[in-house]
Amino acid sequence: MSTLLRKAYSAASFEQQGYQLISLLAQHLKKSTDHSAMNWIAPEKQMEFWKNDFSSGLLSDPVTLFKEIADRSINVRNPKYMGHQVACPLPLTILSSAFISCLNQSLPIYEMGMVGTALEKIVTDHIKTKFGFGNQSSGIITSGGSLGNLTAILAAKAQFKEKDHPDLVILVSREAHYSIERAAKIAGLPASGLIQLPVNEKFQLQTELLTEVYRDLTLKGKKVLCIVGCACSTSLGVYDDLEAIGSWAREHNIWFHVDGAHGGAAIFSPDYKDLLKGAEQADSIILDFHKLLMAPSLSTALIYRDGKNAKKTFAQEADYLFDNHDKNDWCESGKSTFECTKPMHILNTYMILRTYGDEIYRENIDTLYNLARKFYFMIENDDKFEAALEPMSNIVCFRYKNGNNLNVINHTISKEILLDGSYYIVNTTINGEFWLRVSIQNPFTNESHFKGLLGKIKEIGGKLQEII
Ligand SMILES: Cc1ncc(COP(=O)(O)O)c(C=O)c1O
């Protein structure tokens, strides 16, 4: 064997670099509160740096590069990070992630991921019980919510005969995540196959329109493939009235899918789980562990009310992978997922549940949702700001309201905040207008961070008022 291969696989240097890396990561965790949420680097400058790095010869100490990467990346652990819906992963999961890579199991084939396959079953069973699904239900894990939504929509489509396919439509609120539209396209629906329904003043799907819309569609010979409920929507964090959608879907024998990628996590909070009332009527529901449940990217639970539906989409012969005796179905998870190689990411969630139990989820949800309410009231009590609506989750949309051209002012504020880097927030468009948006992801974010953010916005807004 070559010296290079021996050196690269050396357990001794792994151990030495491992200690160095753990110490570096511990520093990163400790310092995450001190620094700015991000050090903005323009794309061209970032690219130039990495081009130079790539051509600068081989590394003698790989750990130095990890530090460089951390310094050049957004810090999702900083309490002033309030941007996209990415978890601040628990330190325990940094360790389990390394462990997952070391074992490199591949789940869809049982013997390639024996433990992971069992853990997926246990965790999805736990989630289905939380939602109140019965014995017939079962779940799988997909790599992300987008893939979870697609898998559920394909399962809904598998209920129809091929001759019906050209006439299928999906009903959804216009606030739904874009992965639903993509899933509709991938499922072979034409653009007119996605019916984006209007929302009420609380930005929830207008359920009172359903019967009329359905009647019109039926007259045109269309068939509803499924109706999707948002729990919650991405942009505004609003939960649809799942109870009303669910009963309507049951009455019309229509597949009801709940996109709980973000807000399905509220099921762990006695204070907030009522937002999900009606989800128990769903035919399928997804829930991301890597958004509000403190796991690193990427794993999503997809639960089917009737577990038999899980297999219909991908039913095919794959003799070299699956033994076609259906006796122990759960151990052939590859029959229910699009993925072939799938990492054992479920271990991150299993470790959280085994170490801290459901209680840590409850605390996280309560903390984040309560913080959003606190931020909302601070906005409401400041005459320089307005909120788009009272938050239902950890997402708050608001804007600086002093000045004549609010779209331009808020757009410029958003850019300035990004360049400044102390805080990281994002933005959205509501009814054609530009709004600032926070998603509070870190339970260590507090009132002083909110004050600091609002102060910074006022400072920028004040200057802009004079020139815009
Ligand atoms: C409501 C909703 N559904 C689906 C997704 C997609 O999930 P993922 O990023 O895990 O693919 C998101 C992502 O933000 C979301 O907010």
Q: What is the CATH number of the domain that holds 446?
A: 3.90.1150.10
CA distance 268 to 463: 44
The set of protein residues with a Cβ atom below 6 angstroms from ligand 1 is 85, 144-146, 149, 177, 179, 234, 259, 261-262, 288, 300
What is the rounded average pLDDT for all residues in the chain? Answer: 94
Stretch 414-420: mean pLDDT: 96
Mean pLDDT of 111-130: 96
Considering only residues 37 and 325, tell me which one the structure prediction assigns the higher pLDDT. 37
CA dist., res. 51 & res. 279, Å (int): 49
Q: What digits encode the pLDDT tens for the residues 129-177?
A: 999 999 999 999 999 999 999 999 999 999 998 888 889 999 999 999 9
Look-up of token digits 């009231």 = 377
Which of the listed residues 356, 379, 394 is the one where a domain comes to its end?
356
Residue 324 has pLDDT above 60, yes or no: no
Q: Give percent above pLDDT 90 in the chain.
A: 86
From 325, 341, 356, give the residue that closes a domain: 356
Q: b or e along 53-66 (b: 16 or more beta carbons within 10 Å of the residue's beta carbon)?
A: eeeeeeeeeeeeeb
List, for residues 225-270, the tens digit of each pLDDT value: 999 999 999 999 999 999 999 999 999 999 999 999 999 999 999 9
Is 349 inside a domain boundary?
Answer: yes
- Residue 146 alpha carbon, nearest atom of ligand 1: 11
Question: How far, in Å, from the CA of 320 to the mean position of ligand 1?
Answer: 33
The total number of structural domains in the chain stands at: 2
User: What is the structure's pLDDT at 17?
Assistant: 95
Question: pLDDT digits over 334-356, tens only?
Answer: 888 889 899 999 999 999 999 99
Band the pLDDT of 362: cuts 50, 70, 90.
very high
Asked if residue 439 belongs to a domain, the reply is: yes
Which atom of ligand 1 is nearest the CA belonging to 297?
Answer: 10
296 and 346, same domain (yes or no): yes
Q: Which CATH number is 279's domain given? A: 3.40.640.10
- For residue 303, is it within any domain? yes
DSSP 109-136: SGGGSHHHHHHHHHHHHHHHHHHT--TT
Residues 161 and 195 in one domain: yes
Distance between CA 382 and CA 384 in Å, rounded? 5
Same domain, 369 and 250: no
Integer Cα distance of 247 and 28 in angstroms: 49
Alpha-carbon distance of 253 to 270, in angstroms, equals: 30
Task: Indicate whether 319 and 403 sit together in one domain.
Answer: no
Q: Same domain for 301 and 323?
A: yes
Claim to verify: residue 380 and residue 351 sit in the same structural domain: no
Question: Same domain for 369 and 231?
Answer: no
**Owning domain of residue 385:** 363-467
Is the pLDDT assigned to residue 314 strictly greater than 90?
A: no
Chosen domain end from 336, 356, 376: 356
| Any domain includes 56 | no
432 and 321, same structural domain? no
Which of 29-38, 109-118, 319-328, 340-349 shows the lowest per-residue confidence on average (mean pLDDT)? 319-328
The pLDDT confidence band at residue 319, using thresholds 50, 70 and 90, is low
Start-to-end CA distance of the chain, whole Å, equals 69
Q: Which residue, among 391, 378, 390, has the nearest Cα to 262 in the 3D structure? A: 391
Is the dihedral angle over the CA atoms 110, 112, 145, 99 positive or is it negative?
positive
pLDDT at residue 316, rounded to an integer: 57
Residue 465 has pLDDT above 80, yes or no: no
Residue 65, in any domain of the structure: no
Residue 89 lies in a domain: no
- The secondary structure of the chain in percent helix, strand, coil, rounded to multiples of 5, reads 50, 15, 40
User: Strands of 284-288's sheet, edge to edge?
Assistant: 138-142, 300-304, 284-288, 256-259, 223-230, 168-173, 194-197
**In 3D, which of 179, 108, 186, 92 has the Cα closest to residue 144?**
179
Q: Do residues 295 and 388 share a domain?
A: no
261 CA → ligand 1 middle, Å: 5
List b or e across 102-117, with b for residues whose CB sees 16 or more CB atoms inside 10 angstroms. Answer: eeebbbbbbebbeebb
Ligand 1 pocket test: pick from 76, 85, 141, 146 the residue with the most ligand atoms within 8 Å of its Cβ: 146
85 CA → ligand 1 middle, Å: 8
